[in-house]
Structure 1
Amino acid sequence: MSISHSDYFRRLVDRHQDGVRVLYFEFGPGEAAKCYENVDRFTALYPDHKPAHGWLLTQLANADGSSTGIYRIICHSVVRRPNGELIDVPPMDERDRGSYVFLEHADLDVAFESLKIRFAELYYPPITDLFGQSPHA
């Protein structure tokens, strides 16, 4: 049974409180904004470590610090160590890293590969365009 993209991201946001802050692990050849390549290089060097695909989520705030109810969601991959701990190998600004939690892709009804291509970054609930239609429908 397949679910809509909107339902997938609603369910993801509903799990926001389950997100984890992933420890950065400095990895010599790591490149910013290339998480998939960095994870592939790392796991090739350390085959007992496995990729973990998912999403970085942060809830946007108003100027006064109150919640907007809108989440910024970015497709991301990290590394799962043999003990189950997650580590993040791509370099990232520490302020950005501290504002996001990682949620692993856990929905077997939706293929992660197709999601990461179509939805590399999005806002949920969708920000509607001038005509009132969602760009992610």
Structure 2
Amino acid sequence: MTRDEYERDVCARSGAAVDVPFKPDVFIGNWKPKVAECHANVDYWVAHHAGYAPVCGWLCYASFGPDSRGYTAHSVLRHPNGGLVDITPVEDRNFVHRWFIEHLGDDTTFLEMRKDTLINLTCQGNFPAPPLDPMWALQLYEREPEEGL
């Protein structure tokens, strides 16, 4: 599967994203989940709690308008009762809803799709957003008379 095909699949399912509840007061001894370390946080929790399972996917981190969302690679927990829960804190205390799209497929595919600079993706409606074209933006630029360029 190519990255383009993968993004199309994720964006096609973006309307069914689940609002995963955040559990802020979890710890194991002196250990507490760390910001921006969701995959390690989930792995650590699973290693110490029978019945929990890691779930990889994509977390909505930004809205770029009424029909455009940014997603980042993320991991949450599947509770023994089957529900999802997020234990990873974020910097923004106003970040209330954690809209999550579950990865469908094996771990190898997920790791391949989130490597290097591909940790984020953008959906416009149910489709991947077109890549930013800086030349398009420059075509719309009109110099102010006093700029003297």
Report which of the two structures shows the higher radius of gyration computed on alpha carbons.
2
2:64 corresponds to 1:60: yes
Residue identity matched to 1:6:
D
Using the size of structure 1 for normalisation, the TM-score is 0.77
Specify every segment of 5 or more residues in structure 1 that has no aligned partner in the other structure, as ranges: 62-66, 133-137
Q: Give the alignment partner of residue 128 of structure 1, picking from 128, 132, 139.
A: 132
Question: Which stretch has the larger CA shift, 51-60 or 14-23?
Answer: 51-60
- Taking the TM superposition and a 5 Å limit, the aligned residue runs for 1:24-35 are 24-25=22-23, 26-28=25-27, 29-35=32-38
The number of residue pairs the alignment matches comes to 122
Q: Which residue of structure 1 aligns with residue 76 of structure 2?
A: 78
Q: Secondary structure in 2 aligned to 1:10? A: helix
Q: Aligned residue for 1:40? A: 43
For residue 105 of structure 1, the aligned residue among 103, 106, 113 is 103
Name the amino acid aligned to 1:30: P
Q: Which residue identity lines up with residue 121 of structure 1 in the other structure?
A: N
Alignment-mate amino acid for residue 5 of structure 1: R
After the TM superposition, which segments of 4 or more aligned residues of structure 1 sit over 6 Å from their partners? none
Q: CA RMSD in A?
A: 2.1
Partner in structure 1 of residue 144 of structure 2: none
C-alpha contact 2:52 2:77 (8 A) present in aligned 1: yes
1:5 equivalent in structure 2: 3
In structure 2, stretches of 5+ residues that fail to align are 124-128, 137-149
Note the C-alpha offset of 1:59: 4.1
Are 1:114 and 2:112 matched, yes or no?
yes
Native 8 Å contact 1:13 1:71 kept in 2: no
Normalised TM-score (structure 2): 0.71
Deviation at 1:48, TM superposition (A): 1.4
Deviations 1:1-54 (A, max 9, x none): xx3211211221111121111111232311111101110111111031010000
Distance 1:56 1:128, change over 3 A: same
SS of 1:117's equivalent in the other structure is coil
